[in-house]
Amino acid sequence: DFVVKAAALALKENPGINTGFDSKKNVIIQYKTVDISLAVSVPDGLITPVLWQADYMSLSDISQEAKKLVVKAKEGTLQPHEYQGGSFTISNLGMFGVTGFQAVINPPQAAILAVGGINESALSNQGKIIPCHLMNLSVSLDHRVIDGAEGAKFINSVKFFLENPSSLII
């Protein structure tokens, strides 16, 4: 829920990431709303239910709606309006013990965020070793639409929001 909210706010700050590519017309799509698709594993593969206007949702609304959509996805009862569309996808494999991976973009979207699990680690700070928890995030980009520098700015925005959770409360 925190990652969804952080990504939604980061997309608002970095609208160049909230884009797609229409390969039939060979044009870039600039999405007007931040509609986050959630990658959900189902027996027949993968489906991506959408949290519409996620940037305006509270954390509790995101939590409730995401849980409802995941249950419906696993039961096979999603309606087309619940999984068609979306401007950006999040794929989370952390619950499977995966620490990092590269996700495949969900066309016509131009980007996807891959979320790995949180791991205990140690960092050096002014010569002292301190325990910490780290989470790997990576963004895959369609370079016909988005360049790497824009992707880096987006990841830094997500990082800021996750490291400052009070910023996620609306």
Q: Work out the pLDDT band at 170, boundaries 50, 70, 90.
A: low
Q: What is the pLDDT of residue 82?
A: 98
Q: Which residue in the block uniquely carries the two structure tokens 């791991």?
A: 119
| Positions marked active-site | 143
Give the Å distances, CA to CA, from 69 to 10, 28, 48, 123, 143: 23, 29, 9, 38, 30
Q: Mean pLDDT across the chain, nearest whole number?
A: 96
Q: Whats the size of the chain, residue-wise? A: 170
Q: Please give, one letter per residue, the 3-state secondary structure of the chain.
A: CHHHHHHHHHHHHCCCCCEEEECCCCEEEECCCCCEEECEEECCEEECCEECCHHHCCHHHHHHHHHHHHHHHHHCCCCHHHHCCCCEEEEECHHHCCCCCCCCCCCCECEEEEEEEEEEEEEEECCEEEEEEEEEEEEEECCCCCCHHHHHHHHHHHHHHHHCHHHHCC
Picking from 40, 42, 62, 63, the residue whose alpha carbon sits closest to that of residue 53 is 62
Confidence check: pLDDT of 94 > 90: yes
pTM value is 0.94
- Number of CB atoms found within 10 A of residue 98's CB: 14
Distances (CA, A) of 78 to 11, 83, 152: 25, 7, 34
Per-residue pLDDT tens digits for 21-72: 999 999 999 999 999 999 999 998 999 999 999 999 999 999 999 999 999 9
